[in-house]
Structure 1
Amino acid sequence: MSGTSSDRPAGARDRDSEGRARNARPRDGLGRPLPYGADGVPRQPEGVVRTPPATVAEAQALLDAGKPFHAHEVFEDAWKSGPPAERALWRGLAQLAVGLTHAARGNVTGGARLLRRGAGAVEEWVADTGERTPYGMDVSGVAVWARELADAVDSGASGAVDAAERAPRLRGGGA
Structure 2
Amino acid sequence: MPDDYAPAAGEALEEARKLLAAGRPFHAHEVLEARWKTGPAEERELWQGLAQICVGLTHIQRGNLAGAAALLTRGSARLGAYGSTRPYGLDLRALAVEADAITAVLDEGNADAGSAVSAILARLTPGE
TM range (shorter): 0.7 to 0.9
Does the aligned pair in 2 maintain the 1:116–1:146 contact within 8 Å?
yes
Equivalent pairs, count: 125
Structure 2 alignment gaps of length 5 or more: none
TM-score between both structures, scaled by the size of structure 2: 0.88
Q: Which has the higher contact order (CA 8 A, sep 6+)?
A: 2
Please identify the structure whose Cα radius of gyration is greater.
1
Work out the CA distance in 2 between the residues paired with 1:46 and 1:122. 26
How far apart, CA to CA, are the structure 2 residues paired with 1:114 and 1:164? Answer: 14
Query: Unmatched 5+ residue regions in structure 1?
Result: 1-43
Identity of aligned residues (%): 42
DSSP-derived class of the 1:116 partner: helix
For residues 43-88 of structure 1, give each alpha carbon's deviation from its aligned partner in whole angstroms, at most 9, with x where no partner exists.
Answer: x434311111111100011111110000000010110000100011
Instruction: Name the residue aligned to 1:48.
Output: 5
Structure 1 residue 166 displacement after superposition: 4.5
Q: Where is the helix percentage greater, Structure 1 or Structure 2? A: 2
Two-structure CA RMSD over aligned residues (Å):
1.8
Contact 2:95/2:120, CA 8 A, preserved across alignment: no
4+ residue runs of structure 1 moved beyond 6 angstroms?
A: none
Shift of 1:164: 4.6
**TM-score, normalised relative to structure 1:** 0.66
Output the amino acid matched with 1:58. Answer: E
Question: In the alignment, which of 153, 157, 166 is matched to residue 110 of structure 2?
Answer: 157
Residues in 2 aligned to 1:171 and 1:110: alpha-carbon distance in whole angstroms: 25
* Amino acid in structure 2 at the alignment position of 1:55: A
Residues 92, 121 of structure 1: 8 Å contact kept: yes
Q: Is the CA contact (8 Å cut-off) linking 1:79 and 1:90 kept in structure 2? A: yes
